Structure 1
Amino acid sequence: MPAAERDGAAIHYESHGAGPPILFSAGMGGSGGFWAPQVEELSRTHQVILYDHVGTGRSGRGAPPRDLAGMADDMAAVLDALGLESAHLVGHAIGGIVGAEFALRHPARTRSLTVVNGWARADDYLRRCFEVRQGILASQGPRAYVRAQPIFLFPPQWIAEHTAHLEEDEAKILAHFPGAELMNHRIGMFLGFDGRATLGAIRAPTLIAISQDDALVPAYLGRALAALIPGAVVREVAHGAHAFTAVTPSVFNAMLREFLDTI
């Protein structure tokens, strides 16, 4: 797996297919593998680029934690390593916040921005959810934290029907778990994010994708985010929860392709 070098860290990435480039940024876990359900279909018409956030997966283990601007510049470093001037950006939750920061810092390199189940400012409900997750990590450790994670990401029936798949994923996540200190840093940084004064400066075509049954980041937070970005297109699905890109990948892939076809 190739790597881009920036500020003392190797940022591992992978590229699939050819065509207009789409750079995908994962959520709290940070692993590009989150977007595996998008690769086969979208790489038929686009260059699909996945990467691991510094400190997670295979990227920059042991490097100092990045701030939001640094995470956005890491995305730019991946594009540089691939010789790409610009790309469509797609981010899930905190990956969407990083994508928005990229769009503000590097507007000429942003062909479009898609944020999946994201927020402009955390409210007390979202804070409560992450406080519970942090409490599990502090009191019971990474294994319990990872074991609880699907409850926040997927619909209940889907969890019940995909036990083997989830247990296989748990083993992979634990093998690359970034550690409690970095995880708490990431949670604190994104709960502290407040884009109300800055997101209005985004000029790239923007899609806000929302799942109405998301129990972690409620749909109303996504709608509030969309209201701050000029011209943002909102698309909502009824089912799939926080990770509907994995639960119903064909629905999300078609949504994204339809949006990109308008640009």
Structure 2
Amino acid sequence: MYHEIHGRTDAGAPTVLLCSGLGGAAQYWAAHIAALATHFRVIAYDQNGTGRSRATLPFGYAIADMAVEVAALLGNLGVRRAHFVGHALGGLIGLQLAVDRPALVDRLILVNAWARTHAHTLRCFAARKSLLSNTGVAAYVQAQPLFLYPAAWLADRQDWLVEQDAAGIAHFPSTETVLRRIEAIEAFDLTAAIPGIVAPCLVVAARDDVLVPYTCAINLADQLPEVQLKLLEHGGHACNITDPVGFDALVKAFLLPA
């Protein structure tokens, strides 16, 4: 898989792996690289089937397969232990990795993630799948920001939205790939295994997330043995994008020694 390595190169440098949501691309974390690279060796990657990691995904492709791919990537890079920061689907991958390969995960930051996919989220994805299958890529891409960002934040960024739409359409993976990634999200249920996760976790959620109810984060935190919960009043599903400085401060406070 395509990956990038930024920041510290010394032998003792702690590693942070950044894992994106449904879009899957390393570019999602661009606003955070500089702030984290001062303190960490930072790895960002394009998940299989997305960005520059073009691949045909098999039938039944699951979050567990994505976790295997991450473990293989870290193994190929000689990383035996890493902090993991995951947004939405990326958080699900982090949870799965912490269950399957606990020695590999040092600390885990979960942003608008969940233990089991909520009925509201399933309804949102049903609408998005319908747009993609029945109306086309452009309609799907143009609708995507409505699920990711608060309305007031979007209203002031119309030119940026036009640029994002054009890039999203130009670099869109195959419809089949996106549908299989959504199906993996829909099937996710790690409820039974989450109480066994040993990695310390920071669960971050925004109360105004329209895709994933913030109550999912509360439920997730209630099941994790060692956890901090941070509920943001504003920020939407992509709260790290709407407030990158605030998000970076949360990450560094949780990962860096006092």
TM-score, with normalisation over the residues of structure 2?
0.93
Cα distance in 2 between the residues matched to 1:249 and 1:63: 32
Cα distance in 1 between the residues matched to 2:112 and 2:55: 27
Query: Quick one: which amino acid aligns to residue 16 of structure 1?
Result: H
Partner of 1:53: 47
SS of the residue 1:241 aligns to:
coil
Cα distance in 2 between the residues matched to 1:241 and 1:82: 34
SS of the residue 1:108 aligns to:
helix
Partner of 1:240: 235
Cα distance in 2 between the residues matched to 1:69 and 1:29: 17
Q: Does 1:21 align with 2:11?
A: no
Partner of 2:256: 261
Cα distance in 1 between the residues matched to 2:256 and 2:69: 27
Cα distance in 2 between the residues matched to 1:214 and 1:164: 23
Q: Does the aligned pair in 2 maintain the 1:212–1:219 contact within 8 Å?
A: yes
Q: Does 1:68 align with 2:100?
A: no
Query: Quick one: which amino acid aligns to residue 13 of structure 1?
Result: H
SS of the residue 1:58 aligns to:
coil
> Deviation above 6 Å: which 4+ runs of structure 1?
none
Displacement of 1:96 in angstroms is 0.3
Task: Quickly say closer, same or farther: Cα 1:43–1:207, change in 2 above 3 A.
Answer: same
Cα distance in 2 between the residues matched to 1:32 and 1:98: 15
**Structure 2 segments unaligned to the other structure (5+ residues):** none
Task: Quickly say closer, same or farther: Cα 1:111–1:62, change in 2 above 3 A.
Answer: same
SS of the residue 1:210 aligns to:
strand
Partner of 2:30: 36
Per-residue deviation, residues 163-182 of structure 1 (Å, max 9, x unmatched): 22222222222222122212
List aligned pairs for 1:130-145, cutoff 5 A: 130-145=125-140
Cα distance in 2 between the residues matched to 1:129 and 1:186: 14
Query: Quick one: which amino acid aligns to residue 108 of structure 1?
Result: A
Q: Does the aligned pair in 2 maintain the 1:61–1:178 contact within 8 Å?
A: no
Partner of 2:185: 190
SS of the residue 1:59 aligns to:
coil
Moved more, 218-227 or 120-129: 120-129
List aligned pairs for 1:70-149, cutoff 5 A: 70-149=65-144
Displacement of 1:63 in angstroms is 4.9
TM-score, with normalisation over the residues of structure 1?
0.92
Q: How many residues align?
A: 253
SS of the residue 2:2 aligns to:
strand
Displacement of 1:262 in angstroms is 4.8
Partner of 1:7: none
Cα distance in 1 between the residues matched to 2:199 and 2:94: 11
| Cα RMSD after superposing both structures | 1.5
Q: Does 1:210 align with 2:205?
A: yes
Q: Does the aligned pair in 1 maintain the 2:57–2:180 contact within 8 Å?
A: no
Q: Does the aligned pair in 1 maintain the 2:199–2:226 contact within 8 Å?
A: no
SS of the residue 2:117 aligns to:
coil
Moved more, 65-74 or 138-147: 65-74
SS of the residue 1:257 aligns to:
helix
SS of the residue 1:209 aligns to:
strand
Q: Does the aligned pair in 2 maintain the 1:58–1:176 contact within 8 Å?
A: no
Q: Does 1:227 align with 2:217?
A: no
Q: Does the aligned pair in 1 maintain the 2:16–2:82 contact within 8 Å?
A: yes
Displacement of 1:79 in angstroms is 1.4
Q: Does the aligned pair in 1 maintain the 2:16–2:42 contact within 8 Å?
A: yes
Cα distance in 2 between the residues matched to 1:164 and 1:225: 37
Cα distance in 2 between the residues matched to 1:176 and 1:34: 13
Query: Quick one: which amino acid aligns to residue 195 of structure 1?
Result: L
